[in-house]
Amino acid sequence: MPERLLLQHLRPYAGRYALGCGFLALASLCALAIPWMVKRAIEALEAGSAAGELQGYVAIILALAAAHGLVRLGSRFAILGGGQAVEFDLRNTLYGHLQKLSLGFYQTHRTGDLMSRASNDLSAVKLLVGFGALSLMATTITFVGTLVAMLAIDPRLTLYAMAPYPLLILLAKRFNSTVHRQSQAVQEQLGALSAQAHENLTGMTVVRAYTMEAGELRHFQRLNAEYLARSLRLARTQAAFSPLLGLIAGIGTLTILWIGGAAVAEKRITLGSFVAFNAYLAHLAWPTIALGWTLSIVRRGLAAMGRIAEILSVEPEFRDAADAVEIAPHVRNAAIEFRNLSFAYEGRGPALRNVTLTIPAGSTLAVVGPTGSGKSTLGALVPRLIDPPPGTLFIGGRDVRGIRLESLRRAVGYVPQDPFLFSRSLRENLALADDAADGKRLAEVARVAGLAEEIEGFLHGWETVVGERGLTVSGGQRQRAALARALLADPPILILDDAFANVDAAKEMEILHALSQVLRGRTTLIITHRLKAAREADWIVVLGEGRIVEQGPHDALIERGGLYARLWRIQQLEEEISRA
Amino acid sequence: MRSHVGANQADGHEDELLGKAYDSRLVARLWEATRAYRRVVLVSAFLFFPIAALELLQPYLLKVAIDSHILRADWGGLTGVAGVFLLTLAGLYALRALQSYLMQLTGQRIMHDLRHRLFAHAQKMDAAFFDKNPVGRLMTRILNDVEAVSDMFGSGVVAILGDLVTVAGVVAVMLAMNWRLALVTFALVPVLAVSAAYFRGQARDAYRGLRTRLARLNAFLQENLQGMTVIQLFCREGAEQRAFVALNSDYRRAQFRSTVYDASLYAVVEAIGSAAVALLLWYGGGQIWEGVLTFGGLVAFIEYTNRFFLPIRDLGAKYAVMQAAMASSERIFGLLDLEPGIRSGAAAARSEAPPIIEFKNVWFAYEGDEWVLSDCSFRVAAGERVALVGITGAGKTTIARLLNRSYEVARGKVLVGGLDVSEWDLTALRRRVGLVPQDVFLFTGSVEANLRLAADGAVRRDALERAAAVANARGFIESLPEGFGYEIKERGANLSQGQRQLLAIARALVYNPAVLVLDEATSSVDPESEALIQDAMERLLEGRTSLVIAHRLSTVQRADRVLVLHRGRVSEEGTHAELLRRGGLYSRLYELQCGR
Ligand SMILES: Nc1ncnc2c1ncn2[C@@H]1O[C@H](COP(=O)(O)OP(=O)(O)OP(=O)(O)O)[C@@H](O)[C@H]1O
Ligand SMILES: Nc1ncnc2c1ncn2[C@@H]1O[C@H](COP(=O)(O)OP(=O)(O)OP(=O)(O)O)[C@@H](O)[C@H]1O
Ligand SMILES: [Mg+2]
Ligand SMILES: [Mg+2]
């Protein structure tokens, strides 16, 4: 699977690699021709022929050297450049794919881990398709070429010189699997280490407040020590194996020195041939020595590709069906209907049970209920952050699963309970829905969200960069920024998930007031714990353990004397007590 | 460049701090870092001498074999030489294996140590530091920079030393064997030097560009992964993909540029090596005619020439390793040199009794003179329960942060138990002052581990359960598939927001501090649970000093006293009823909330 995926990404650059291969062959030819010329030159010297002949060889060698340099350069540009192109494509593909994966995926994969795949693993793949490929091809070509040249000089000597190589292949195989196992163990440990460090650094507020530093350090140290142990295990294998290749190449040379030397002595071959033979063997030595390195690049690269393929093979949960329809951005009839909807997160009991509910177009629905009763789940289903079962959720009379995802999300403005801001400027954060939004429009949504004055008050105004995750603005400012950016898209449907939890009551009233004009004609779902805000809604739904336990307008619910009435009384009572 | 890279641009700039491949100040510090392993370093460096000697011996053996035995058909002598050759091979294998392991050992150990130091250092840094340094950047220090330094020990600097030894040996042997011929070979060295200097300079610039772009690319990626839901909700996939592709192709271009110079250097050095062989043949041929040089000598010389150029050819790669290591160690030491802006005092808690809290004319700004608190003063008596209210952005969270000394005040004093927080031992202070932050952060791991946090094994399970019950979290925890053993995902993603808050409260109760600061701890909790928590806490807060920050006035009114924060200072204070009577900001807020 990873191999196939890799090939798929290599295919567009087949031409480049072929070209590189051609260059490599030429380079190899030049490299082989030089010792041949040296051989001829020495033979000429031995024969004591004219100086002119020697100079001829010298000139040829110089020319070959220049040509060698050039084609060598060509091969590197072609193949390394090709590798970089593959990396480029793969990175784009990976990012593009990640963008298609849903909330569920991001909740089960840690950011640290994804980052390590997208950066470390990708580099390992680049090494494989760049230097690894280059080195593999060069090794093959050099081996074949050198073998031919050696056979041309003396087949018997060649046989002797090659004798240790089968052993080499055997060893390489053994080594290969050991290294694979050990380097996988190292990578895994690195993943664990980086995940812990990442989490510690992001949770520093808590680490600090709860004086966890020493314990965290101990934990890190344990992971760190294990990483060291695993790396050293790998280092031992590599230390034993890599010089072994040099040894085997050296034994070839030794054989030639001994048997070939005897052959020269017996005048079966010339001294020139002997020298050339030696040079050829030396040619083999380098790729042989580098073989260990190349193999580990290949192994690591393939393992890394496997980890990347794992992500790429995660099917996006939501794919537009072939017959999915657009809903115009300003749909008139944006009624929302839940039909006997049940939903459960993986490994958990149902979060919503048999919810049947209609929010008529242009009306406002408030959802209240205890912590964990499924309110946010209900809200997140509408823009399909999580996927409703087929036939349970309808917008404008159409099953949301049959609406093109992009058009659905453009139609739904969603303010999450725990908003995330990018560490970009406030302007960019508010203009997410429309990069081209002008200052007037931005100021307008900021005003409605009750944020305008504060932005003006900031030292850098609209250009204030909000820090990682928006943590350098106050909690309430973050929530209101999230509201403003949702309003900017001017969506016909608006979902506010506890959007004023961190905003003071006065501000909330002010915002709700400003919103009430903006909300006219929009279908709105307000999730809240403050019943004062719920009271204004056209219809109120009370959720309890995933079920609708009561619904109706405020007064009816009060009259009914159920959960809502009780919650209301609690809030009223507290006011009463305090007023007394 | 789009401005959103702003925050990461700093990283980019920092990554551009890349210059020399050798910086004596940094090298001195790295040398210092090897202190514990110095013997190993010295042994592995020393091993170069026997390795180089054996390597140099091989061509010489070849010469002896040709001149004294092959050309004289002396089979016995040849066998003897071959035997010696075999010995050199065996010796080389053993020495190289040993050296390779020792080098890795040093490299890995140094990596281990530096990681430890960086992580430990990060634990000491204050909040202002984390405001300025994105997590991604710190991760780069701990993962990649440290690795670059370790590479230097594993393959860079030590190998360069080895190469120097080899080259010096080759030069010496060549000069000794035939200095004229040696000089002919060296005639090409100036050409080599000039081209190497040129390409290397270019390669360095290219490499610098490469680092910067990679840092940008990764910062972008990291943030977008975290904010993926927002991207999808706003249908920004297209725009973000375009931005990503732009960064990616920037990176690719920089990478290719770097390849061009590296490859050119490599090719040029190799061509010069071959040219040197040609020169040798030409000049050596003449010498053979004159009878000054033997065939064996010529062959050995050709071998030596190869061994002279080989390390020089690979120098480019090793130079890059060195350069990366220097740049990385500069950043690592830069981070290690940053003193925490907040230094711990030495005072420990003087008694177990709940302390008094006092702000005396405190001035504070996150940035420059954008004052968040200006001349803010208030006092919370021992065991008193005080509520802090104020409009959003007024600085309530800031007060909470100053209390456990996450930030340092600019002017004035924060006193806990009558002692300036700067005199407190930080750990002792934070043991006394427990904070439930506004942004709940849960760790991946079980519910139980999240409740225990620093307490480790010291807290009994039933104490956890009791705390969970007070925080009204016990019910939902027990309904989870594995109860207290339920695995929480990154940042608590598989719990509802309110449930996360309940856990955060329970965790503070397990921590059992003398001062409890609740920063909007129940903002996302339903009124009923909130009332239940309030009732249960009533008992718990007895005998503790507590500061409760809340927007919901229903939370506030149970407090003994209310402080109203406005325009950077406490503008009103008193009991709920007094404040209502006074008719100031508080009563306005209150009336608004009660809708009358
Ligand atoms: N880390 C920070 N760096 C820079 N400015 C900050 C940082 N944290 C908060 N601020 C700014 O300081 C001011 C006070 O913020 P603070 O978080 O103390 O307000 P708050 O009263 O807690 O508000 P809220 O009720 O919305 O939580 C705000 O204008 C905010 O933007
Ligand atoms: N990603 C998830 N994976 C597994 N379980 C989840 C996930 N998100 C929520 N839950 C569980 O589903 C139930 C409903 O959660 P939801 O977030 O909808 O509650 P809520 O009504 O919004 O609560 P709150 O008032 O606290 O925000 C809870 O028990 C919660 O633990
Ligand atoms: Mg919720
Ligand atoms: Mg706050």
What distance in Å separates residue B227's CA from the closest CA in chain A?
6
Helix (H, G, I), strand (E, B) or coil at B18: coil
Q: Which pair of tokens denotes residue B453? A: 């946090």
Q: Which residue has the tokens 């080895």?
A: B162
CATH tag, A336-579 = 3.40.50.300
Residues A516-528 have a mean pLDDT of 89
Distance of CA A289 to the CA centre of its chain: 34
Q: What are the structure tokens assigned to A259, written together?
A: 């048997």
Cα A389 to Cα A164, A339, A340, A341, B110, distances in angstroms = 65, 10, 10, 7, 54
Average pLDDT over residues A336-360: 93
Contacts across the A-B interface (CB distance below 8 Å) = 495
CA angle A278, A284, A290 (to 5 degrees): 140
Give the contacts of B231 (CB within 8 A, at least 6 positions apart): A99, B224, B237, B240
**CATH homologous superfamily for the domain B357-594:** P-loop containing nucleotide triphosphate hydrolases (3.40.50.300)
- Residue B390 three-state SS: coil
pLDDT tens, position by position, B64-86 = 888 888 878 788 888 888 899 99
Tell me the CA–centroid distance for residue A543 and ligand 3, in Å. Answer: 12
Extract the tokens encoding B115: 């990681």
The H-assigned helical ranges of A424-504 are 426-430, 439-448, 452-457, 475-488
Q: Is B499 in the pocket of ligand 2 (CB under 6 A)?
A: yes
Question: With left for phi above 0 and alpha for psi between -120 and 50, is residue A347 left, alpha or beta?
Answer: left
Cα–ligand 1 centroid distance for A475 (angstroms): 7
Environment class of B223 (CB within 10 Å of its CB; exposed 0-12, middle 13-18, buried 19+): buried
Residue of A nearest to B558 (CA): A578
- Supply B17's token pair: 């701090």
Asked whether A554 lines ligand 2 (CB < 6 A), one says no
Asked if the Cβ–Cβ distance from A275 to B496 is below 8 Å, we say no
Closest CA to B67 of A76, A512, A410, A274: A274
- Say which residue, A80 or B189, is predicted with more confidence: A80
Over residues B216-240, mean pLDDT = 87
Confirm if B308 and B317 have CB atoms less than 8 A apart.
no
pLDDT at A223: 95
Q: Is A505 on the interface with B (CB under 8 A)?
A: yes
Determine the Cα–Cα distance for residues A77 and B262; give it in Å rounded to an integer: 10
Residue B118 has pLDDT above 90, yes or no: yes
A461 CB within 8 Å of a chain B CB: no
CB contact under 8 A, B235 and A410: yes
Domain boundaries, chain A: 2-312, 336-579
Interface with chain B: mutation pick from A95, A281, A346, A417, highest number of B CBs within 10 Å: A95
CB contact under 8 A, A476 and B441: no
What's the whole-number mean pLDDT along residues B375-388?
A: 92
User: What are A532's strand-pairing partners?
Assistant: none
Q: What is the DSSP letter of A203?
A: T
Cα-Cα-Cα-Cα dihedral sign, residues A64, A68, A74, A79: positive
Q: What is the pLDDT of residue B122?
A: 92
Is residue A567 within 8 A of residue A543, CB to CB? The reply is no
Average confidence score pLDDT of chain B: 85
Q: Which bound ligand lies closest to the C-alpha atom of B391?
A: 1
Contact A72 B101 (CB under 8 A): no
Alpha-carbon dihedral angle through residues B265, B271, B273, B278, given to the nearest 10 degrees: -160
* Closest atom, ligand 2, to C-alpha of B498: 26
The reported pLDDT for the residue numbered B98 is 93
Distance A341 CA to ligand 2 centre (A): 16
* DSSP 8-state assignment for residue B459: S
Write the burial class of residue B527 (CB in 10 Å: 0-12 exposed, 13-18 middle, 19+ buried): buried
CA distance B264 to B268: 6
CB contact under 8 A, A242 and B443: no
Of A210, A216, A530, the CB nearest to B123: A216
Which is more confident, A115 or B379?
Answer: B379
The CA distance from A20 to the nearest CA of chain B, in Å, is: 14
Q: Give the distance between the most distant pair of CA atoms in chain A.
A: 124
Are the beta carbons of B223 and A422 separated by less than 8 Å?
yes
Contact B4 A70 (CB under 8 A): no
CATH 3.40.50.300 region(s) of chain B?
357-594
- Residue B7 pLDDT: 35
CB contact under 8 A, B554 and A571: yes
Q: State how far the Cα of B593 lies from the Cα of B596, in Å rounded to an integer.
A: 8
Nearest residue to A312 via CA among A79, A89, A83: A89
- pLDDT the model gives residue B359: 95
Burial call B546-570: b when 16+ CB within 10 Å, e when fewer: bbbbbbbbbbbbbbebbbbbbebbb
Over residues A378-410, the pLDDT tens digits come to: 999 999 988 899 999 999 888 998 898 888 888
Tell me, in angstroms, the distance from the centre of ligand 2 to residue A333's CA: 30
Q: Per-residue pLDDT tens for A174-191? A: 887 888 888 888 888 988
| Chain A touched by B42 (CB under 8 Å) | no
The Å distance, Cα B434 to ligand 2 centre, comes to 27
Q: From the CA of B555, how far away is ligand 1's center (Å)? A: 21
B1 to chain A, any CB pair closer than 8 A? The answer is no
Answer yes or no: is the C-beta of B274 below 6 A from any ligand 2 atom. Answer: no
pLDDT band at A576 (very low <50, low <70, confident <90, very high): low
Write out pLDDT tens, residues B534-558. Answer: 888 887 778 889 999 987 777 777 7
Torsional sign, CA A44, A45, A49, A51: positive
Mean pLDDT of B250-264: 89
Report whether pLDDT(B313) > 70.
Answer: yes
Share of chain B above pLDDT 90, in %: 24
Q: Is B108 on the interface with A (CB under 8 A)?
A: yes
**pLDDT band of B11, cuts 50, 70, 90:** very low
**Three-class secondary structure of residue A456 per DSSP:** helix
- Hey, is the C-beta of B476 within 8 angstroms of any chain A C-beta? yes
Q: What is the pLDDT at residue B3? A: 32
Packed helices A133-153 and A155-162: angle between N→C axes, nearest 10 degrees: 140
Q: Are B564 and B585 in contact (CB under 8 A)?
A: yes
d(CA B157, CA B328): 14
Number of helices (H), then strands (E), belonging to chain B: the values are 24, 12
* Every domain range in chain B assigned CATH 1.20.1560.10: 2-336
Question: Does the pLDDT of residue B185 top 90, yes or no?
Answer: no
Report the complex ipTM.
Answer: 0.85
**Cβ–Cβ below 8 Å for A567 and B527:** yes
pLDDT at site B529 = 84
Min Cα–Cα distance to chain B from A360, Å:
23
- Ligand 1 pocket mutation pick from B125, B130, B366 by most atoms within 8 angstroms of CB: B366
The Å distance, Cα A534 to ligand 2 centre, comes to 20
Q: What is the DSSP string of B250-283?
A: HHHHHHHHHHHHHHHHHHHHHHHHHHHHHHHHHH
User: Which residue's C-alpha comes closest to atom 17 of ligand 2?
Assistant: B496
3-state secondary structure of B190: helix
Contact yes or no for A490/A328 (Cβ under 8 A): no
Q: Is A468 on the interface with B (CB under 8 A)?
A: yes
Residue B22's pLDDT band (boundaries 50, 70, 90)? low
What lies within 8 Å, CB to CB, of A83 at 6+ separation is A126, A127, A128, A129, A130, A131, A133, A134
Closest ligand to Cα A497:
3
3.30.499.10, 1.20.1560.10, 3.30.1330.40, 1.10.10.60: CATH of B2-336: 1.20.1560.10
- Whether B228 has its CB under 8 Å from any CB of chain A: the answer is yes
CA A115 to chain centre: 5
State yes or no: pLDDT of B592 exceeds 80. no
> Near ion ligand 4, which residues have CB within 5 Å?
A 474-475; B 397, 438
What digits encode the pLDDT tens for the residues A155-166? 888 888 888 888
Over the range A296-334, which residues count as b (16 or more CB within 10 Å of their CB) and which as e? bbbbbbbbbbbbbbebbebeeebebeeebeebeeebeeb
CA distance A41 to A275: 11
Distance CA A114, CA A312 (A): 12
The angle, 0 to 180 degrees and rounded to 10, between the axes of the packed helices B189-226 and B237-290 is: 160
CA-based nearest distance A577→chain B, Å? 9
Out of B78, B101, B592, the one facing A258 most closely (by C-beta) is: B78
- Asked if A7 has any chain B CB less than 8 Å from its own CB, the reply is no
Do strands A523-527 and A493-497 pair parallel, antiparallel, or not at all (unpaired)?
Answer: parallel
**Are the C-beta atoms of B159 and B316 separated by less than 8 Å?**
no
Q: What is the Cα–Cα distance from A48 to B169, expressed in whole angstroms? A: 33
Non-local CB neighbours of A387 within 8 Å, separated by 6+ positions: A102, A317, A318, A381, A401
Q: Quick one: pLDDT at residue B453? A: 81
B575 touching A (Cβ < 8 Å): no
Asked if residue B477 has pLDDT above 80, the reply is yes
- Across residues A227-252, what is the average pLDDT? 87
Report for A287-291, A407-411, A444-448: range of highest mean pLDDT? A444-448
- Which residues 126-185 of A are in CB contact (within 8 Å) with B? none
Determine the distance separating the centroid of ligand 3 and the alpha carbon of A564, expressed in angstroms. Answer: 17
User: Which single residue is written with the structure tokens 């977008």?
Assistant: B224
Pocket test for ligand 2, best of A338, A373, A387 (most atoms within 8 A of CB): A373
Nearest alpha carbon to residue B301 among B66, B76, B50, B563? B66
| Residues 380 through 419 of chain A touching chain B, CB cutoff 8 Å | 383, 385, 406, 409-410, 412, 414, 416-418
Report the Cα–Cα distance between both ends of chain A, in Å, rounded: 73
Per-residue pLDDT, averaged over B449-462, amounts to 79
Q: Residue B244's pLDDT band (boundaries 50, 70, 90)? A: very high
Could you tell me if the CB of B495 is within 6 A of ligand 2? yes
Q: How many other CB atoms are there within 10 angstroms of residue B85's CB atom?
A: 21
A2-312 folds as: ABC transporter transmembrane region fold (1.20.1560)
Q: Which of B37, B526, B549, B588 to mutate to test the interface with A (most CBs of A within 10 A)?
A: B526
pLDDT of residue A360: 93
A28 or A572, which is more confident: A28
Which B residues, 163 through 192, put their C-beta within 8 Å of a C-beta on chain A? Answer: none
